[in-house]
A and B are shown apart, each in its own frame.
Chain A
């Protein structure tokens, strides 16, 4: 178990190296020059050159990347070009809000998706099953920003039940629900096919034969087994989730790293873009690891090697 975790963490380090290299190179292949943006229109060539040296942009790309990596290991992501603050501080200040929204979104997705999928599996082939599956596809097919805007219009503006945006406990409901409409759709489809397979297993027949009512057999024996692929899916889907969170943060004004990234992109603040991308990659790979570590807790037959 310990050996497994150590090996996985080593892989995480390798992945981060790769991610940072790809991000760094991509941004430097771009035709835009951050010096143009920072120096302003009235800068003399001398001023521009001084700025370029100060930022280390006069060095060859591999040297710049090596310097960046050296600092990254010490938790230093450089300074924001536009905001003149350490990127790591900016990210540290905003990461909790994003993690809270992610957690709330996952919980909401599961609460929405799992019961729908279980219900559809137990009523397989009937009209309610078909209706549930088309509804889940509709959730998957609805653009997140449209869902977000319409939820805002309905619950915040028309009905006035929830706040229009911003940060807080009541404020988290609508953005989490927005993400859950799409994610819950996926989970319900997964849960349906997973549960259909479980329902045909011998142990389910045994549970019924010993006199358990159908719903108890499904809840006690079926649910746990059917959950396994869902948990793996939650881990694998982290990349999509983070992307959705960025969009949703910008719709609802949620003060997370998505909003920070958005500001960074608009100002071509490449230290922020790289910093947020790497942070997101860390979250994705760690969530993946966490999902894998959770599986043996649910199914003791699974051994991590």
Chain B
């Protein structure tokens, strides 16, 4: 694990992606420092004479939105919400998925089977549709949106972790530990979990790309972070009816979402190659 950087360094796409991720995170965290304007101020000179949004120019670098607000500043501040939700949701999904997968894989038998049948069931529900329903009815805060996304996303993690745990559980070192009197908690935390870390690292990285996109999707459907708070998907949601006259309002936030999702995917893929060259499995 300590030598991850070495193989990763050879993958040019992954290095560039790490740079993009670092840049976006710094810009979003430092939004008050880097943003040229307030993200919510409606500028009098931010709209054209007929009240249309302005294309990119010297004062408004990426143009203005339909209320005359600075798009660049909104993208920076929106990044805080989008990234925070993406990270929170992904963390929660990893936690739930790992718990379910490890427990089901370790106890196996009828109970373990029942748990995995339940995850099968979750696969058959168009979960995002339910998430949309939940998000629209519950009070929408950053936390609720993140939780709703996590409730959709843990299933994939649980299945992968389950398969790996079943494999590890049959290995000699686990049996040896148990023969020496180690209880389930010790076996799981000291002997099984460390072997799952590479998998968790890979899925954790790939998962951020999924959760950031889901956040954008929920916001686009109007059930994400509530205005006037900006988020990347929310900016597109507000502007979609202006698409024909002000395409930059969709193109710039769209490019940002694409860049972040692509970067996390490429890094996750490179990590997978670096950690286990044999295994080039796909995530759904």
Contact = CB atoms under 8 A, between A and B. Distances in A.
B240 A23 contact: no
Q: What is the interface of chain B mostly: helix, strand, loop, or mixed?
A: helix
Interface string A120-158: 000000000010001001101111111001101100010
Interface in B225-253: 233, 236, 240, 243-244, 247, 250-251, 253
B158 to A, nearest CB: 15
A279 B3 CA distance: 49
Contacts of B253: 146
A225 interface: no
B32 to A, nearest CB: 27
Contact of A19 (B125, B134, B221, B282): B125
A86 interface: no
B254 A150 contact: yes
A153 B217 CA distance: 19
Nearest to B253: A146
Contacts of B132: 265
Contacts of A142: 254, 257-258, 261
A277 interface: yes
A240 B127 CA distance: 9
Interface string B216-227: 110011000000
B240 A149 contact: yes
Is the interface on chain A under 10, 10 to 19, 20 to 34, or 35 or more residues? 35 or more
A284 B284 CA distance: 15
B99 interface: no
Interface stretch (A45-53, A89-97, A104-112, A186-194): A186-194
Interface residues of B, number: 43
Given A18-B121, A143-B213, A26 B130 contact: yes
A250 interface: yes
Contacts of A144: 217
A32 interface: yes
B92 interface: no
B81 interface: no
A64 to B, nearest CB: 18
Contact of A153 (B121, B134, B216, B244): B244
A284 B250 CA distance: 32
Interface stretch (A77-85, A200-208, A241-249): A241-249
A183 B200 CA distance: 24
B174 interface: no
Query: Which of B123, B129, B133, B284: most chain A Cβ within 10 A?
Result: B129
- Chain A: interface secondary structure? helix
Interface string B117-150: 0001101111111101110111000000000000
Interface stretch (B52-60, B62-70, B262-270): B262-270
B111 interface: no
B89 to A, nearest CB: 15
A239 B265 contact: no
B257 A146 contact: yes
Contact of B282 (A150, A193, A276): A193
Interface of B: 13, 120-121, 123-130, 132-134, 136-138, 209, 213, 216-217, 220-221, 233, 236, 240, 243-244, 247, 250-251, 253-254, 257-258, 261-262, 265-266, 269, 280, 282, 284
Interface of A: 15, 18-19, 22-23, 26-27, 30-32, 130, 134, 137-138, 140-146, 149-150, 152-153, 157, 186, 189-190, 193, 233, 236-237, 239-240, 242-243, 246-247, 250, 261-262, 265-266, 268, 273, 276-277, 280-281, 284-285
30 contacts: A23-B130, A26-B130, A31-B137, A31-B138, A32-B137, A137-B269, A140-B261, A141-B261, A143-B257, A149-B236, A149-B250, A149-B254, A153-B243, A153-B250, A189-B282, A236-B123, A236-B284, A239-B123, A239-B127, A243-B128, A246-B126, A246-B129, A247-B220, A262-B221, A265-B133, A265-B136, A276-B129, A281-B124, A281-B126, A285-B124
